[in-house]
Structure 1
Amino acid sequence: MLIRILAIGVGGGSGAVLRYMIQEVLPSSIFPLSTLLINIVGSFLLGGVTSYFMNRNRGEILQLALGTGLCGGFTTMSTFSAEAVALMRESILLSGLYIGCTVLGGLTAYFIGQHVFLGRRSEERG
Structure 2
Amino acid sequence: MEFLKSVLAVGFGGAAGALLRYCVILATAHSFLPLGTLLINIVGSFLLGTINGYFASKKKSLVFLTLGSGFCGGFTTMSTFSQESVIFLQTSVLYAGVYMGASVSLSLLAGFLGLGLFNERRGEWR
State TM-score, norm by structure 1.
0.90
Task: In structure 1, list runs of 5 or more residues that go unmatched.
Answer: none
**Contact 1:28–1:34 under 8 Å retained in 2:** no
Aligned ranges 1:77-92 → 2 under 5 Å: 77-92=78-93
For these two proteins, the number of residue pairs brought into alignment is 122
Structure 1 residue 24, shift from structure 2 partner: 1.1
CA RMSD of aligned residues (A): 1.6
Runs ≥4 residues deviating over 4 A:
none
**Contact 2:49–2:111 under 8 Å retained in 1:** yes
SS in structure 2 opposite 1:56? coil
SS in structure 1 opposite 2:74? helix
| 1:39 paired residue among 28, 38, 41 | 41
State TM-score, norm by structure 2.
0.90
Identical-residue share of aligned pairs (%): 47
Task: In structure 2, list runs of 5 or more residues that go unmatched.
Answer: none
Distance in 2 between residues matched to 1:116 and 1:90, nearest whole Å: 39
Q: For the structure 1 residues 15 and 122, does the alpha-carbon distance in structure 2 shift closer, same or farther, using more than 3 Å as the test?
A: closer
Distance in 2 between residues matched to 1:122 and 1:44, nearest whole Å: 15
